[in-house]
């Protein structure tokens, strides 16, 4: 018999009978008044039980919300850790576009998670300090055909830029 509801009902009936019986011994009170007063005393016990039950539900709900918030924070940290690890991994990729994307991902992570800010800055600085090796810049010249093609493309690109100048540039030049 550990049920609080059962004990509440027993206490309520006992109070109803006790208060009602005590008031019935007094000749100045009527039976209806004794019954009303006893009922109010029993109802007060039931109301106290309802208040206790409501407070217990509130505490359980608050504890559940705290646990849910902790779980959310752990998931957020795990996702941030995965983003950081994947971005650092992609910094070593061969394609330039992938490395640039990794830099943007790290910058976004530093913006949204202040605890990663210094770590991301350290990674970016060490990435920028790495020695840069590229076939074109390391003294290894390409074939003369590749160099010629590059020169042709550069010349064609520069002539297109010169020939298709915006109109505002002409106005600026004439006003000078």
Q: Which residues contact 86 (CB under 8 A, 6 or more apart)?
A: 105
Count of Cβ atoms closer than 10 Å to residue 3 Cβ: 8
DSSP state of 139: T
Q: Is the pTM of this model over 0.75?
A: no
Report pLDDT digits (tens) over 2-42: 777 677 777 777 877 777 777 777 777 777 887 787 777 77
């Amino acid at each position: 018999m550990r049920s609080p509801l059962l004990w509440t009902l027993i206490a309520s009936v006992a109070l109803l009978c006790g208060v009602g019986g005590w008031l019935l011994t007094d000749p100045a009170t009527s039976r209806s008044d004794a019954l009303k007063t006893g009922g109010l005393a029993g109802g007060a016990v039931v109301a106290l039980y309802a208040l206790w039950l409501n407070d217990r539900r509130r505490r359980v709900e608050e504890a559940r919300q705290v646990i849910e918030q902790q779980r959310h924070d752990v998931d957020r940290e795990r996702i941030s850790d995965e983003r950081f690890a994947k971005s650092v991994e992609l910094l070593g990729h061969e394609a330039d576009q992938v490395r640039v994307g990794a830099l943007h991902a790290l910058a976004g992570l530093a913006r949204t998670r202040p605890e990663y800010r210094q770590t991301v800055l350290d990674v970016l600085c060490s990435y920028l300090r790495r020695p840069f090796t590229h076939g074109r810049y390391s003294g290894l010249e390409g074939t003369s055909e590749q160099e010629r093609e590059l020169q042709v493309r550069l010349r064609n690109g520069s002539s297109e830029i010169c020939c298709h100048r915006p109109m505002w540039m002409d106005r600026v030049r004439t006003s000078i």
